[in-house]
Amino acid sequence: MKKIYLFCSHGMSTSLLANKMQDVADTHELPIEVKAFPHGKLEEIVETLNPDCILLGPQVKYLYDETVERFKDINTPIAVIDSQDYGMMNAEKVLKTAIILIKKNKK
The residues annotated with a catalytic role in the active site are 8
CA of residue 58 relative to chain centroid, distance: 11
Of 38, 41, 47, 51, give the one whose Cα is nearest residue 98. Answer: 51
**Helices 13-27, 91-106: inter-axial angle, 10-degree rounding:** 70
